[in-house]
Amino acid sequence: MDRNKINREDMLELTRRMTTARTSMTRIAGCYVDKDGEFDGSFNTNFLKLSPSEKTKNLKLAKAVPFSETNKNLKKYEFTPEAQKPGSMWQLLMAMRECGLKNDALMDTFYDVVMEHYRADYEYAILLFHDRYDIPAKAADKERLWESEEMFEYLICVICPLAGEYEPGEPECGFLFPAFTERSGDLNHVNVFQRELESVHTELMEEILGVR
């Protein structure tokens, strides 16, 4: 498998767990942006405290990223050593992942970067999910064993036009960080989702994430 390509099976392994019964999502955070690009409120919640219907609705939004068509709507990009220097988005994402989205100052910094660069003339929401996936080991014959192979701690971000008052619609773009490669966390890469290939939000890769 070309390491620059995304393995569909890796993504399906993540999406299979995005149900209310199986999810291990720990937290959801987000902010709302008005049509002028101004901040319009934020929230930060323990995912497990959401109602079943809220969990279902939000898991559907998060799932849009890994479930999208691999190597077409979902592509892998590299954080070069230059893109990992102090003050970079990579460093911010690492810190957000480490605190499980619980540090509001880090979240506000992230929202500010997105709002500064994201091109939209409509209201939208920036949503972030934090998850810890205890990856089961696989035996040589591909049968799963009980012991864990690795703890994959990751973030999913989606940017959604609002479909109603503070009601996120279908995600327009987003990302999974770190990338999930060969059933393992890949800190030097990110998987980026774009719903509309005719009108790609290049600013997400170039100006917000700083990847190529």
**Structure confidence by residue, pLDDT tens digits, 33-56:** 999 999 999 999 999 999 999 999
What is the residue range of 103's domain?
Answer: 8-209
Stretch 134-153: mean pLDDT, rounded?
Answer: 70
Residues 135, 184 contacting (CB under 8 angstroms): yes
Residue 143 has pLDDT above 90, yes or no: no
Q: State the pLDDT at residue 150.
A: 82
Q: What is the pLDDT of residues 113-129, one digit of tens each?
A: 999 999 999 999 999 99
User: Does any domain span residue 180?
Assistant: yes
Choose among 114, 125, 113, 121: nearest CA to 169.
Answer: 125
Q: What is the mean pLDDT of the chain?
A: 93
User: Does any domain span residue 193?
Assistant: yes
User: Does any domain span residue 27?
Assistant: yes
Choose among 19, 178, 20, 203: nearest CA to 119.
Answer: 203
Stretch 62-75: mean pLDDT, rounded?
Answer: 97
User: Does any domain span residue 119?
Assistant: yes
pTM of the model: 0.94
Tokens matching residue 91: 């460093």
User: Does any domain span residue 77?
Assistant: yes
User: Does any domain span residue 161?
Assistant: yes
Tally the domains of the chain: 1
User: Does any domain span residue 2?
Assistant: no
User: Does any domain span residue 100?
Assistant: yes
Backbone φ, ψ for residue 152 (5° rounding): -95, 105
